[in-house]
Amino acid sequence: MLLNLRPNPNPAGDFVRQVGKKVIDSDFGTELPEASRDTLVLATTGGAVLGAAVGTFLGFQSQGGNRVNEEWRTHGIRHPHLTGYSHSAVPDYDRVCHYEGSGEERREVCRDELDGWWHRYSPRIREDQVGTYTAPEFHNSKWAEPLLGGFLGALGGGLLGLGIGIGANALKHSLNHGEAGASQNALPEAKREQLHGTAGMLALGGAAVGMVGGGVLGHVAGVVEQAQKEVHTREWMGPVLQNQRIGEIPSDYYEHNVGLGFPGLGIGFGRGSSGVYRDVPVYNADGTPQIQRVQHTFDTARYGPVSGAIMGGLIGGGVGLAAGIAGGTLLKMVESRPKDKPQG
């Protein structure tokens, strides 16, 4: 019996190389030439990183000037009435694939087959106003804060970077007279394998650093939120509500397609009815809505140090991953540039 005496591969190193392979070799669902694709990836990820940094900075600036405003608003007391229902039949497709050909001509062919329909029913409800009451609300004068600013900045920066990348590709395409990617050479296989490891380390390292940095910033933002928060207890007179059944509608069900291709002509099981429940005002003997004393304590902090650190870590991890992908893509583009020929 022969034993395999070769050393076991390093699982961690293999994982890093697999991540790097995704960064370097993935087509990201596009059919663009490799050079154009790299330009889009670099512009999008770079824009997301820059946008996140700017958004977080502006979020801290906004948070520092935030004030809490109290407002008493009038609300309607509404009685719901079921007037009917709406129905939709949502097609349910199953993707079926098989292989055709052999050798180098072997390819996967897929098609979508209609399995059936999900029949969904939702109630139509009319609400009649039967009275009013006044209740307090507390609002932050500044809606932006570091976590939201960082997230929206990354999203906006990524979209802006994508637009810049598309424009750069269009300009390059025009200058090269339609020869996309003419300024980038194919990487040798050995160099590409080396880049897999480097790009993987950049992506994973960026995600780790971003997660730690984002967690720290989120914690700081949470501490500021707690320092600025206001806690107020208010009382007001509000309506007495009771959850009641106001009617019924058909239950959702699944209809199997039997080959005719139209909803209503298949086989459906589990048809029945479902009750509709809503909060309904309780009335006095004279028909007026009952009113009761309501007390509530308002805490104006949007999050605390722990939740801020968790959310910040998640956002920072995504931004750090984008930074690592941008670094790996840039390194690939630099390595792929045509080398100047020595003059003889």
pLDDT-based confidence at residue 263 (cuts at 50, 70, 90): confident
Per-residue confidence (pLDDT) for residue 184, from 0 to 100: 53
pLDDT mean across residues, the chain: 87
Mean pLDDT of 235-246: 96
pLDDT tens, residue by residue, 92-114: 888 888 888 887 777 888 888 88
Cα end-to-end distance, the chain, whole Å: 61
pLDDT-based confidence at residue 319 (cuts at 50, 70, 90): very high
**CA gap 51, 45 in Å, rounded:** 10
In sequence order, what DSSP letters do the residues of 60-121 get, joined into one string? HHHHHT--EEEEEEEEEEEEEEEEEEEEEEEEEEEEEEEEES-GGG-EEEEEEEEEEEEEEE
Place of tokens 């730690």: 212
Lowest mean pLDDT among 13-17, 48-52, 309-313: 13-17
More confident residue, 121 or 29: 121
CB 262 within 8 A of CB 296: no
Per-residue confidence (pLDDT) for residue 11, from 0 to 100: 73
pLDDT-based confidence at residue 35 (cuts at 50, 70, 90): confident
pLDDT tens, residue by residue, 282-313: 999 999 999 999 999 999 999 999 999 999 99
| 326 Cβ contact partners less than 8 Å away, ≥ 6 residues apart | 41, 42, 45, 46, 49
pLDDT tens, residue by residue, 149-195: 999 999 999 999 999 998 988 888 787 665 544 455 566 777 778 88
Mean pLDDT of 31-48: 87
Per-residue confidence (pLDDT) for residue 241, from 0 to 100: 96
| Nearest of 216, 196, 214, 204 to residue 321 by alpha carbon | 204
| Nearest of 38, 15, 21 to residue 337 by alpha carbon | 38
Helix, strand, or coil (residue 156): helix
More confident residue, 186 or 14: 14
